[in-house]
Structure formats: C-alpha cells, structure tokens
Amino acid sequence: MKLSAPEDLDHLWTCPYIIPDASPRLIFHKLMLSFHDKCIALFSDVSPLSDQFLLEFSALDCWDFTTPSLPCLWLARGLLPADLVQLLQQFYSKKKIFEALSSLLLDFQEHLYWDIWMPRNVFFHLWLDSQEHVPKNTRSSVSSSLSSSIPSSSTSGLSLATVSQDS
C-alpha cells in the first residue's frame, strides 16, 4: 500500500498533476521565473545593477522552486523572505523596496489565483458533480471509510493561523 502525504496549500503550487498543460508545478515555475525577472527589471530601472548583485539575487533561496524551498513557498503565500529584503536593503530604502515589491507580489498572486487556483477549483467542482452520479450507498461507504481513516487531530477544528484577541 502506497501512502502519500496529505495535500496542503503548498501542494497546490507543487503538484505535478497528470495533464501536462494544466500542471500547477510547471505553471508555478513559469510564474516564479517571471516574478524573478520582473523584480530584476524593476530594480534595474531604478539604478544599474552590478553582476555581483545579480548573482547574489538569483542565488537567494526564495527562487528555488524546484524543491521548492520554504522561502519560495512564502512568496507564493504573499510573504517576503527576510533574505530578499536584506539583500535589497543594501541598495534601496525599505520604503522603495516595499513599494516596488508590493505591486509585483500582487500581480504574482493574481496570476497564481487565475492560472492555478481557479482551474483546480473548476476541476474539483466537476469531480464533485460527477460524484452525484455515483449511487448514494457507494458514496456513503467511501466517505465513512475516509472519515474513519483521518486522525482525530486533523479534524479538531484547528486553524492554520490564529490572532490573539488581546491586542
């Protein structure tokens, strides 16, 4: 019996999928490369970039989308990795960095949404609709066997992020 890891948000960007043109992983790679190139283009418009800067910038862990690295997944979630900001702060003010990156990050997020999230959502709903054509007793036996195989800790209602009410 082959066990697989449960799907999470990161799986959305990294799933190899079976339909080549709809592979979230390939789309994610293209979007990351585009985001990387747009960052370089934007900052080179502000001031000329040295070859050393370009090497350091491209070597940052946040551009490692083949594994992908944790900072790369942070970018996919709309978070700026500290290493990226620290490198840019050597040449630009924090205000300039956040002004520049916020518009690029928003554009990147929109592309992730329309190019990966929405198609997966459509496929999911098509699959869900197809399940209505399965005899009801088959569906209930499948869902009961699935629910009994899910550990109770994963169904306890824990959220991915919490905010303190004390603030």
H helical segments located in the chain: 9-14, 24-46, 51-59, 70-76, 82-89, 94-112, 118-131, 136-149
Does 155 map to a domain?
Answer: no
Average pLDDT of every residue of the chain: 78
Confidence of residue 66 (pLDDT cuts 50, 70, 90): confident
Tokens of residue 63, six digits: 């551009």
Does 95 map to a domain?
Answer: yes
Does 42 map to a domain?
Answer: yes
Does 162 map to a domain?
Answer: no
Q: What is the pLDDT of residue 11?
A: 65
3-class SS at 91? Answer: coil
Does 53 map to a domain?
Answer: yes
pLDDT tens digits, 3-44: 455 666 666 666 666 566 668 888 899 999 999 999 999 999
Which residues span the domain enclosing 93? 9-133
Q: What is the pLDDT of residue 154?
A: 40
Total tally of structural domains belonging to the chain: 1
pLDDT tens digits, 107-144: 999 999 999 888 878 877 887 888 887 665 554 544 44
DSSP calls for 111-143: HHIIIIIHHHHHHHHHHHHHHTTS-HHHHHHHH
- pLDDT of 97 strictly over 70: yes
CA–CA separation, 54 and 158 (whole Å): 42
Q: What is the pLDDT of residue 124?
A: 77
- pLDDT of 46 strictly over 60: yes
Q: What is the pLDDT of residue 18?
A: 58
Contact 76, 69 (CB under 8 A): no
Q: Residue range 63-74: average pLDDT?
A: 91
Does 75 map to a domain?
Answer: yes
- pLDDT of 58 strictly over 70: yes
Contact 83, 61 (CB under 8 A): yes
pLDDT tens digits, 141-163: 444 444 444 444 444 333 333 23
